Copies of this chain bind each other. A is one copy, B any other.
Amino acid sequence: MSSLERVGVSLDQHLLAEFDQLTAKQGYTNRSEAIRDLIRDRLSAEQLEKPTANAVAGIFLVYDHHSTALTNKLLHLQHDHVLNIVASTHIHLDHHNCLEIIIVKDKVQKIQALADKMGSLKGVKLSKTNMISIT
C-alpha cells in the first residue's frame, strides 16, 4: 500500500449538499471515503473494458436441479477451468430451482466465454455475471 496524498476539490455548495445527503443515506460517515469509492468504481469499470484485464467474477446460474444431465455438464465445464475456479456455492431457491454461484479468477474475456457457455446450457434458466477487476 503506497502513501496517501491530499487532493483538493472545489464544489458548488448546492452540489455538495446533494452529495452529502445521498452518501449519508447510503451509510457513509465520511465524505472523503465516498469520493474515494466513486474513483475506485470508475477505475474498476474502466479496467473491465479490457478483455485481458485480470478479474474475479461470480457466475450466477438459476437452473432446475432435477436435470442431472445439466449438473454433469456444469461440473465438466468447471473441471476444464479447474485452475481458475475458486469456489462454488449452491442454494436451494424452491422445489425446482437452485442458484449456483461459481467464483472464477481469470482474464475478463475468458470469464465471459465461460459464462456464455454455462448460460447457454439447456436447463439454465437465468444467468448473470458480476465481475470485479483486480490489479
Contacts and interface: CB of A to CB of B under 8 A. Distances in A.
A13 interface: yes
Interface residues of A, number: 71
A119 to B, nearest CB: 7
Contacts of A76: none
A23 to B, nearest CB: 7
A88 to B, nearest CB: 9
A79 interface: no
A80 interface: no
Given A15-B36, A35-B39, A37-B119, A7 B5 contact: no
Given A35-B38, A40-B125, 12 more contacts: A5-B16, A6-B10, A7-B16, A9-B35, A26-B120, A28-B120, A29-B120, A33-B120, A38-B38, A38-B39, A41-B126, A93-B134
